[in-house]
Amino acid sequence: MSNLPSLELSNGASDFIDETHFFALLAAKRPEAARVRDIIAKSLDKQALSVEETAQLLLADTPELIEEIFHAAHELKQSVYGNRIVLFAPLYIGNKCVNDCSYCAFKRSNATAIRRTLTESEIRDQVEALESKGHKRLILVFGEHQAYDAEFIAQSVRTVYGTKSGHNEIRRVNINAAPLDREGYAVVKAAGIGTYQIFHETYHHETYARLHPHGTRKANYLYRLDGLSRAMEAGCDDVGLGVLFGLADWRFEVLGLVRHALHLQERYNVGPHTISFPRVRPAAGVDIDLKLLVNDEDFKRIIAILRLAVPYTGLILTARENAHVRRACMSFGVSQIDAGSRIEIGGYTEVGDAQVMEREQFSLGDVRSLDSVMAELMDDGYVPSFCTSCYRLGRTGEHFMEFSIPGFIKEFCTPNALMTLQEYLVDYAAPLTKEAGGRIIEEELAKLPNSDLKQMLVQRLGEIREGISRDRCF
């Protein structure tokens, strides 16, 4: 087909998902408690787990051991990231698609989907609406279509960065789009993106083939599996993994994510910057197979086990989940969430409170405002953050690992998070949110040891309150 991409692969590309090995691991007997605790101790020492060790945690299904895994995941998250939660919003640019994925409302055979691609002017309108609420970080989402080539993606990124008004600006743009060749990744990287995210959807080969019809872009399993390796080789050193839970055995998918993370670490000396773990949701024109849906308790286990398996990778909990589930899952290792999200094309300016299913890829479970989500986070003791400092100061890829692996990243994260929170409180927060934020900042400052850095932070927070400066970072 003329609309298929070239089949350029990375150097030494291979299918590293060994299904026989995975299923053998999952068929083993339940591990002894002592073995599970040894694996937990390794993770708490901030060492990545092997696929085999991750499988042992998946098989540890007694209430006592599950609770120990939850507790360890919370402890590890606190030791690496502290109690901050990074916030972002999705911005859907276009939903044309040449694929026919059975679980997606954007599939080409869905006659009910309203197809649209935002113009540059419409992108600016969406960005202005997001900025007016306080957003600083976006992920741009594109259907898989020849119209959304590397140059189109890059121009969309430039438009977002160029849309500013007063203190309103987007400081980081991530991408969720089709796999590219090396040249395409280089074009997008030059536009100043942060993370390039590709969901493999399911690592199970037979399921992947059944859900992604032959002759579509997505049908080539290896080309998609290799997509982030090509991105790395083109200079995109921050990449994001993800699967859609509910398509195959959730335990198998966890092993696939861990193996993929290890593959990137082994080949490029840096693992994924983020891992996403969305569950299948209702969507217009889509029939959901209920047999493999992941229940809430297993969903919590997914998050906790991923946190232990990949200590330095950000875990993203999206607004697919309802507010209750998100609140319950937050402590098990989540480091990023979206908030105030709309996923209709043009949804930030053109729709009301009700979701418009014909314009969405799937239905959202949490459509609360950014301010409401931030207020709840602070009530629960978290520090909401819009920090983008690492990207602006070159702490990406291997450089990020150099800082994060010894645990130093937490020293940068808390001060930067507090400054971005102070900006939000001054410029956008509702009165009650402002009051809660002031308390959180004072509590976090009290925890910091007296040092030159703390004195500088206190000074900068005061300057933000007085309107003297913005966009400072450590």
pTM of structure: 0.94
Q: Considering the chain, what is the average pLDDT of its residues?
A: 92
Token pair, residue 436, equals 């809660």
Tokens of residue 431, six digits: 């009165």
Asked whether 36 and 65 are in contact (CB, 8 A), the reply is yes
Q: What are the tens digits of pLDDT across the range 175-202?
A: 999 999 999 999 999 999 999 999 999 9
Q: Could you report the per-residue pLDDT of 276-285, keeping only the tens digit for each? A: 999 999 998 9
Angle at 255 between CA 235 and CA 318, to 5 degrees: 70
Per the CB < 8 A criterion, the answer to whether 90 and 347 are in contact is no
* pLDDT score for 353: 78
DSSP letters spanning 35-97: HHHHHHHHHHTT-PPPHHHHHHHHH--SHHHHHHHHHHHHHHHHHHHTTEEEEEEEEEEE---
Asked if the model's pLDDT at residue 146 lies above 90, the reply is yes
Whether 53 contacts 42, CB under 8 Å = yes
Signed CA dihedral, 303, 304, 305, 310: sign only: positive
The rounded distance, in Å, linking the Cα atoms of 288 and 102 is 9
pLDDT in tens, 392-403: 555 555 555 555
Cβ atoms 173, 161 nearer than 8 A? yes
pLDDT at residue 359 in the model: 87
The hierarchical CATH code for the domain 83-392 is 3.20.20.70
**Torsion-angle region of residue 468: left (phi > 0), alpha (psi -120 to 50) or beta?**
alpha
Of the pLDDT bands very low, low, confident and very high (cuts 50, 70, 90), residue 2 is very low
What pLDDT, in 10s, does the model give residues 336-387?
999 999 999 999 999 877 888 888 899 999 999 999 999 999 999 999 999 8
Comparing CA positions, the residue from 189, 93, 187 lying closest to residue 145 is: 93
59-99 pLDDT tens trace = 999 999 999 999 999 999 998 888 999 999 999 999 999 99
What is the C-alpha to C-alpha distance for residues 344 and 291, in angstroms, rounded to an integer? Answer: 28
- Asked if 223 and 179 count as a contact pair (C-beta separation under 8 A), the reply is yes
**Residue 159 DSSP SS3:** helix
pLDDT for residue 167 is more than 90: no
196 with 185: CB under 8 angstroms?
A: yes
The Cα 115–Cα 421 span in angstroms is 37
Q: What are phi and psi of 80, to 5 degrees?
A: -90, -50
333 Cβ contact partners less than 8 Å away, ≥ 6 residues apart:
73, 74, 76, 77, 303, 304, 306, 307, 308, 315
Given this model, what pLDDT does residue 354 score? 81
